[in-house]
Copies of this chain bind each other. A is one copy, B any other.
Amino acid sequence: MDCSEVMKRITSHRGVKQLVIINKDGLPLKSIPEMEDLGESQARSLHELAGAARRMVRDVDPTDDLMFLRVCSKTDELLISPGKFA
């Protein structure tokens, strides 16, 4: 299954507004064009938040690592998965 197929499968779930793949510099690489746009500045703050969460996890235990980050607001939910695509 290639990247676009995985993205289509995820965004087919009800309520998903956007899916963005962000590179290690915080730049958005790929998203779903017909869905709500997530600007570069928001992609960068997402990236910074994941970085801060990773530093905090390693602060507590240097051998540990961040697996997932869920940010719940009054209206939305952001799911951040700091993975590595081959």
User: Are B46 and A56 in touch, CB under 8 angstroms?
Assistant: yes
Q: How many copies altogether?
A: 2
How does the 8 Å CB contact mask read for A5-42 relative to B, with 1 for contact and 0 for none?
Answer: 00000000000000000000000000000000010011
Contacting B at CB under 8 A, from A39-85, are: 41-42, 45-46, 48-49, 52-53, 55-57, 59-61, 64-76, 78
Q: How far is the CA of A48 from the CA of B49 in the complex (A)?
A: 10
Pick from B70, B74, B75: contact of A69, CB under 8 Å? B70
Bound complex: CA of A27 vs CA of B24, how far in Å?
32
Cβ A56 vs Cβ B49 within 8 A:
yes
The answer on a CB contact under 8 Å between B73 and A65 is yes
